Amino acid sequence: MHNDKRSFVKLITLFLLLAIPLITFSQKEKQYKVVNIAFYNLENLFDTLDTPDVNDRDYTPEGLNRWDTKKYNEKLENLAEVLSKIGADATPHGPAVIGLAEMENRNVLEDLVKQEAIADRNYRIVHYDSPDRRGIDVALFYQSEYFEVTNSVSHRLNIEGRENFYTRDQLLVSGLLDGEEFHFIVSHWPSRSGGESRSRPLRNAAADLGRHIIDSVLSINPNAKIIYMGDLNDNPDNQSVMKHLRSKPDAKKLEEGDLFNPFYSFYKKGIGTLAWRDTWSLFDMVMPSKSLMEKDFSSYRFYKANVFNKNFLQQKSGRFKGYPLRTHGGGQYLGGYSDHFPTYILLIKEID
């Protein structure tokens, strides 16, 4: 971040004036709007039905997880609580746009947006079925009062020589955010199943697809405002994220077409979004394009990023104290939220 931008951030005093996702604050005589953009891996949001051609047997009443209506409803309530609180200190009514991963179908998303904690936000849904063998997809929630969808398309990952490999599509949603053209890309890259090294080419290929989508948008508008988000199953310093997707941790070194990765610094400080065997990883990222890093705040620009890892989302005791409090663990129903913490960024613009 530029030195003058750091100084600008330090001088700002927040005065919340409107309790809506696009709030305003003031710095001396200037006023600014703030918008919250989030991402959350829902950790296996499945219904209780045994759906043909979907690997969801474990999430049925007779399955391994004894997944019944009571547990399903508890899961929905828990997830809605999280969505209601992400970045609420800056935007009391939460994110205007949320990228999501690990849901079975549109029906579970319809059930989620109706939950009491977020029902008054009237989130709308962009969702396509993916060919993933686990039967999970990605999606986008948005508040139509602030974001108008003009186009959406689902991009399939096809890997030469791996015709029988099926994973999540990458979702591109274009539209107007408070009147400004934006493009949101939601992804969930292939897992590390079989080992990080062995599975690395799959995530590199997913990153290449993401890069292709970004470049296709930039070919039409070189100054397009793009936000790439998702569970990448890689960390900010992996070659898939840095080299193939072309993200950088230093905003001053961005070249045309690059993404800025604000979560690199979190990761280097030991802050993650999920933990495994006493090691933290930061797979969940929200990355703005270079056009959102300019110093001119006459339109929306990147302001700050955060990992939403509040205490209520963490295990309170035992060996896994501090880990995300998940739905299942060690073969037991824990009644938690997700095995991932959400992430989000704030954008600001000056009001005339």
The token pair at 142 is 């948005």
**DSSP 3-state of 204:** helix
Q: What are phi and psi of 138, to 5 degrees?
A: -115, 165
Report the percent of the chain where pLDDT is more than 70: 92
Tokens 């979907």 map to which residue?
54
Determine the pLDDT at residue 93.
86
Task: For the beta carbon of residue 192, count every other beta carbon within 10 angstroms.
Answer: 18
Task: For the beta carbon of residue 57, count every other beta carbon within 10 angstroms.
Answer: 13
Rounded to whole angstroms, the Cα distance separating 322 from 274 reads 10
In Å, the largest CA–CA distance within the chain is 63
Determine the pLDDT at residue 9.
40
- Residue 41 confidence class, pLDDT cut points 50, 70, 90: very high
Distance of CA 29 to the CA centre of its chain: 34
**pLDDT higher at 169 or 22:** 169
> How many domains are there within the chain?
1
Handedness of CA 241, 99, 257, 259 (dihedral sign): negative
Determine the pLDDT at residue 55.
87
Check pLDDT > 50 for residue 12. no
Domain span at residue 135? 3-351
Q: What are phi and psi of 25, to 5 degrees?
A: -140, 165
pLDDT tens, position by position, 69-111: 999 999 999 999 999 999 999 999 899 999 999 999 999 999 9
**Of 37-41, 50-54, 60-64, 251-255, which gets the smallest average pLDDT?**
50-54
Q: Residue type at 348?
A: I
pLDDT tens, position by position, 229-267: 999 999 999 999 999 999 999 999 999 999 999 999 999
pTM as predicted:
0.92
304: domain CATH number is 3.60.10.10
Determine the pLDDT at residue 163.
83
Determine the pLDDT at residue 115.
98
Rounded to whole angstroms, the Cα distance separating 16 from 26 reads 8
- The partner residues of 286 in beta bridges, in order of sequence, read 229
**pLDDT higher at 93 or 150:** 150
pLDDT tens, position by position, 126-142: 999 999 989 999 999 99
Determine the pLDDT at residue 272.
98
pLDDT tens, position by position, 160-172: 888 889 999 999 9
DSSP readout, 241-305?
A: IIIIS-EES-GGG--TT-EE-THHHHHHTT--SEEETTEEE--EEEEEBGGGG-S-TTS-EEEEE
Rounded to whole angstroms, the Cα distance separating 45 from 345 reads 24
The token pair at 39 is 């991402």
Q: What are phi and psi of 108, to 5 degrees?
A: -70, -30
